[in-house]
């Protein structure tokens, strides 16, 4: 086609020409995956049959390069592609044909997946996709298997075969639903042999596959077919009234953004606790126009109950979402919570019944029966996953499911995959084996940790330390820019994940930066509500924020600075604990609170009266809160001392003042780093370990206290001071 309305044409001849053959496959994959209307995150695969030099014989041989198991086309690199001897894959047909137990879903078919490793070219470690036969057995040198919403709308229509002929004529063949694998590859091979001119096949309730001997032509053909399907659907959709009549028209009205945020922030921590009965989940909120059009509609309940169609969808969204028939115009939050509770109970019963009815003798044990997608009229959608990336993928896939239902209902009648077929994909032994092969989750996986004071010093170091263990980090600081800078450092190092869904704050990765004034309850509450919108709730809070006001020459500070010292070092921590506990109680999940005290709390000395007494109060606050918040929340403290290097509490003027106080020689024009090193070494020499104390040393203590390593420890203060005997407990 000369121009495209429904997909993006991104092929660049100059770019393609600069790449080697495998590089062009990766390039094609990336530009296909970059357009959500072409395929979803992690969905679909591409391949090229290329001539390579056999490392064993030195002779040219045909090699199938195909996107391997897992991975995402948009972000794929060479490492995401497996390489296999094409002739060996073809020869497997004889091996398979000789099996007496061959057939769709038969053991012989599953056994063939294990054979792919025997066809590996050049010791490529990437595991092969279950879709490998689809690419190997069709004749094209270059193959695209995509999951476009428009194509799946046709595939998920009651009259799919008829519509395929009507829309594409003889340009696209049709194969009814078959589970991906060897049998589907053989079926496609026969279709292409019987119809040599065909270069594409509609896969019932799945997607489509297309091919060509020229890679650019293959890319263009893929786009042309999606464009044609999209144009057909759009014409039918507009003829039926378009958005105004979509899904039977509106039943409920959308709440204003402020109202939606208020509902979400109030209900999400409780909902997170409800769905996290077995393992904790991270949430993603979607409340854009398209999802609201669906959840508000007359047909939403009917269509949601049918469940999803494409296997890629329901592997993430489960067999169906939880739709709550709540009237946002006439019912309140208490009513929503009551209906959600009843809906969750029924959902679990339905899922257990689905499992019991569909299971086989060798099926894996039933997995978590809670929904991963919750739909609320007037408000939007909440998706859950083991981490932010997975929850965004889940949300993305249900967005796709909604578009599929919209398209199918516009041209025909939407039908879901039969429950037995869905179960046989969800609980496929090969799928279970893939899950079992996944690496163990990190120690703080599935958790959200708020670090207050993360803009600098100990807080910044703590945020970087904790994220290494798999936690999602909310960086909070009075200086919002500093908090966001720390969050950006984390994202730059660990990435934002592969999901592309989520609206507002929920469109985030493993870290966000927020502002809060811990001496202001309203500011704390606003921050905690934003955390709920971003991640669904939180698990632990580390308060590293603090203040030290240097005294004048007489050893005193102004009265207002005395009050400020106590407000930040004591009252602020209490406000955080008191507001957070409201959320912790709603959520019902075990949590951790770690406050920052100081070795100064146990040592009386001149020059820091306000600071030292405030930290002594903070020490006791730890003990009091441990009692008040038990048994749901463990409360502990970290008592640093002499942290000079990297600390925001030691600006140049305080360092110089301390050097002068201790008669340590220095020059007025001496570099700040040099001054800091001198003071740090002086403090280190006073300790038993004779080592300078760094923010990283403190961060290790915060990590230990929010982990399960010290799960029976509460009401305690861990000193990280290098061994100041003056501060020993007495």
Strand order, beta sheet including 472-477: 511-515, 472-477, 448-452, 540-543, 591-596, 633-640, 717-720
pLDDT in tens, 235-294: 999 999 999 999 999 999 999 999 999 999 999 999 999 999 899 999 999 999 999 999
Predicted confidence at residue 674, as pLDDT, reads 87
Rounded Cα gap, residues 150 and 35, in angstroms: 13
Q: Are 453 and 543 in contact (CB under 8 A)?
A: yes
Residue partners of 517: CB distance under 8 A and separation at least 6? 478, 523, 524
Q: Can you tell me which residue has the tokens 């400020």?
A: 564
Strand order, beta sheet including 142-146: 81-85, 60-67, 45-53, 142-146, 207-212, 200-203, 173-175
Q: Are 211 and 24 in contact (CB under 8 A)?
A: no
- DSSP letter string, 94-161: HHHHT-TT-STT-HHHHHHHHHGGGGBSTT--SPPPTTHHHHHHSS-SEEEEE--HHHHHHHTBTTHH
Rounded Cα gap, residues 371 and 391, in angstroms: 12
Predicted confidence at residue 397, as pLDDT, reads 93
Catalytic residue among 85, 347, 611, 702: 611
pLDDT in tens, 401-450: 999 999 999 999 999 999 999 999 999 988 888 778 788 999 999 999 99
Predicted confidence at residue 66, as pLDDT, reads 98
Which residues of the chain fall below pLDDT 50?
Answer: none
Going by the DSSP 8-state scheme, the letter that residue 385 receives in this structure is E
The encoded tokens of residue 509 equal 């990765």
611 has catalytic annotation:
yes
Predicted confidence at residue 730, as pLDDT, reads 57
Q: Are 64 and 83 in contact (CB under 8 A)?
A: yes
Element (H, E) at 225: helix 215-239
Q: Can you tell me which residue has the tokens 């807080």?
A: 459
- Pick from 518, 519, 536, 385: nearest CA to 454: 518
Q: Is the peptide bond before 631 cis (omega within 30 degrees of 0)?
A: yes
Element (H, E) at 695: helix 695-706
pLDDT in tens, 135-170: 999 999 999 999 999 999 999 999 999 999 999 999
How many other CB atoms are there within 10 angstroms of residue 360's CB atom?
11
Q: Can you tell me which residue has the tokens 């004034």?
A: 517
The encoded tokens of residue 634 equal 């463990």
């Amino acid at each position: 086609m000369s121009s495209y309305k429904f997909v993006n044409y991104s092929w660049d001849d100059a770019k393609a020409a600069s790449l080697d053959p495998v590089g062009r496959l990766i390039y094609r994959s990336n530009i296909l995956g970059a357009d959500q209307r072409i395929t979803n995150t992690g969905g679909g695969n591409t391949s090229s049959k290329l001539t390579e030099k056999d490392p064993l014989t030195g002779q040219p041989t045909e090699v199938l390069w195909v996107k391997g198991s897992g991975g995402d086309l948009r972000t794929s690199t060479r490492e995401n592609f497996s390489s296999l001897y094409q002739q060996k894959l073809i020869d497997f047909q004889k091996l398979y044909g000789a099996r007496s137990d061959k057939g769709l879903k038969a053991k012989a078919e599953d056994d063939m997946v294990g054979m792919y490793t025997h066809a590996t070219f050049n010791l490529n470690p990437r595991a092969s996709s279950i879709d490998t036969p689809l690419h190997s057995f069709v004749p094209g040198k270059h193959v695209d298997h995509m999951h476009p919403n428009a194509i799946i709308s046709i595939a998920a229509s009651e009259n799919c075969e008829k519509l395929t002929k009507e829309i594409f004529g003889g340009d696209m063949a049709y194969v009814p639903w078959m589970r991906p694998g060897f049998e589907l590859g053989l079926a496609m091979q026969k279709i292409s042999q019987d119809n040599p001119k065909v270069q594409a096949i509609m896969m019932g309730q799945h997607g489509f596959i297309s091919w060509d001997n020229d890679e650019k032509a293959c890319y263009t053909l893929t786009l042309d077919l999606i464009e044609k399907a999209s144009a057909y659907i759009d014409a039918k959709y507009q003829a039926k009234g378009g958005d105004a009549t979509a899904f039977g028209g509106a039943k409920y009205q959308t709440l204003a953004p402020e109202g939606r945020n208020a509902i979400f922030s109030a209900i999400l921590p409780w909902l997170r606790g409800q769905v996290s009965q077995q393992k904790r989940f991270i949430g993603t909120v979607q409340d854009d126009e398209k999802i609201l059009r669906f959840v508000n509609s007359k047909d939403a309940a009917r269509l949601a109950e049918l469940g999803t169609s494409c296997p890629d969808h329901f592997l993430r969204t489960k067999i169906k979402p939880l739709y709550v028939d709540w009237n946002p115009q006439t019912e309140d939050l208490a009513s929503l919570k009551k209906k959600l509770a009843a809906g969750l109970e029924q959902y679990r019963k339905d899922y257990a019944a689905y499992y019991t009815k569909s299971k086989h003798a060798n099926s894996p044990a039933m997995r978590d029966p809670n929904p991963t997608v919750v739909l609320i009229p007037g408000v939007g959608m909440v998706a859950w996953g083991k981490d932010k990336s997975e929850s965004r993928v889940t949300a993305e896939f249900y967005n796709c499911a909604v578009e599929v239902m919209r398209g199918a209902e516009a041209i025909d009648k939407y039908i879901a995959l039969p429950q037995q077929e869905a179960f046989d994909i969800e609980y496929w032994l090969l799928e279970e084996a893939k899950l079992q092969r996944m690496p163990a989750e990190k120690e703080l996986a599935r958790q959200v940790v708020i670090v207050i004071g993360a803009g600098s010093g100990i807080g910044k170091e703590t945020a970087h330390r904790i994220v290494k263990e798999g936690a999602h980090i909310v960086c909070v600081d009075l200086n919002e820019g500093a908090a966001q800078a720390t969050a950006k450092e984390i994202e730059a190092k660990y990435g934002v994940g592969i999901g592309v869904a989520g609206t507002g704050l929920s469109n985030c990765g493993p870290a966000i930066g927020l502002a809060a004034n811990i001496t202001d309850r309203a500011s704390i509450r606003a921050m905690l509500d934003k955390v709920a919108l971003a991640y669904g709730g939180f698990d632990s809070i580390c308060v590293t924020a603090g203040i030290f006001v240097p005294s004048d020459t007489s050893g005193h500070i102004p009265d207002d600075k005395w009050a400020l010292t106590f407000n930040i070092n004591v009252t602020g921590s209490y406000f955080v604990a008191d507001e957070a506990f409201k959320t912790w109680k709603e959520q019902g999940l075990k949590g951790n609170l770690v406050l920052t005290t100081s070795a100064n709390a146990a040592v009386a000395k001149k020059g820091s009266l306000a600071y030292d007494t405030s930290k002594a109060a903070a020490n006791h606050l730890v003990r009091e809160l441990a009692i008040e918040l038990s048994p749901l929340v463990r409360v502990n403290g970290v008592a640093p001392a002499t942290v000079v290097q990297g600390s925001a509490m030691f600006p140049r003027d305080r360092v110089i003042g301390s050097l002068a106080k201790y008669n340590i020689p220095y020059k007025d024009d001496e570099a700040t780093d040099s001054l800091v090193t001198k003071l740090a070494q002086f403090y280190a020499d006073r300790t038993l370990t004779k080592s300078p104390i760094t923010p990283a040393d403190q961060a290790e203590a915060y990590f230990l206290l929010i982990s399960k390593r010290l799960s029976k420890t509460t009401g305690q203060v861990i000193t990280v001071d290098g061994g100041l005997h003056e501060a020993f407990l007495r």
